[in-house]
């Protein structure tokens, strides 16, 4: 579990996230969550996430994260808006779980296609939405 402010800076990490990421708590707090973003992740995934959570909707997707030691790991992450006691949006909460192997293999191939689309300067968010629709 992680929590961020409205700008994506980490404000909280749980013990499991610290173990998975390979960072110490002090190395994570106050840093942008993109610190653990693997360069193989299509940018349109994060564009889709920000569009959803900034409008107050949760977002779920498969994410390849980068550990401090350079290794990577896959998770299914659900990002939800966080509200203060007055009901004002004040940040985001991300909960991760291990991915199912079969779906992960499908997503890996979709993400490769999406990265190729982005490399060709095509808009990836439509492709991402279509890919997710085909999977459900």
CATH classification of the domain holding 35: 3.30.450.20
Q: Is 119 inside a domain boundary?
A: no
Q: Is 127 inside a domain boundary?
A: no
> How many domains are there within the chain?
1
Q: Is 57 inside a domain boundary?
A: yes
The beta-strand segments (E) located in the chain are: 2-4, 10-13, 59-66, 72-83, 89-97
Give this prediction's pTM.
Answer: 0.77
Q: Is 131 inside a domain boundary?
A: no
Q: Is 82 inside a domain boundary?
A: yes
Q: Is 128 inside a domain boundary?
A: no
Expressed as residue numbers, the domain containing 92 is 2-99
Query: Which of 63-67, 102-106, 127-131 ranks highest by mean pLDDT?
Result: 63-67
Q: What is the mean pLDDT of residues 1-30?
A: 97
**What is the Cα 5 distance to its own chain's centre?**
15
Q: What is the mean pLDDT of residues 75-85?
A: 96
């Amino acid at each position: 579990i992680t929590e961020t402010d409205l700008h994506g800076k980490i404000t909280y990490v749980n013990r499991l996230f610290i173990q998975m990421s390979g960072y110490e708590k002090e190395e994570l707090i106050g840093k942008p969550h993109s610190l653990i973003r693997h360069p193989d992740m299509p940018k349109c995934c994060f564009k889709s996430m920000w569009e959803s959570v900034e409008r107050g909707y949760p977002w779920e997707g498969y994410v390849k994260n980068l550990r401090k030691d350079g290794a990577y790991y896959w998770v299914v992450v659900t990002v939800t808006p966080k509200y203060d006691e007055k009901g004002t949006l004040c940040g985001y909460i991300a909960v991760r779980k291990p991915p199912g192997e079969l779906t992960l293999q499908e997503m890996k191939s979709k993400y490769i296609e999406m990265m190729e689309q982005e490399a060709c300067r095509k808009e990836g968010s439509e492709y991402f939405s279509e890919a997710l629709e085909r999977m459900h």
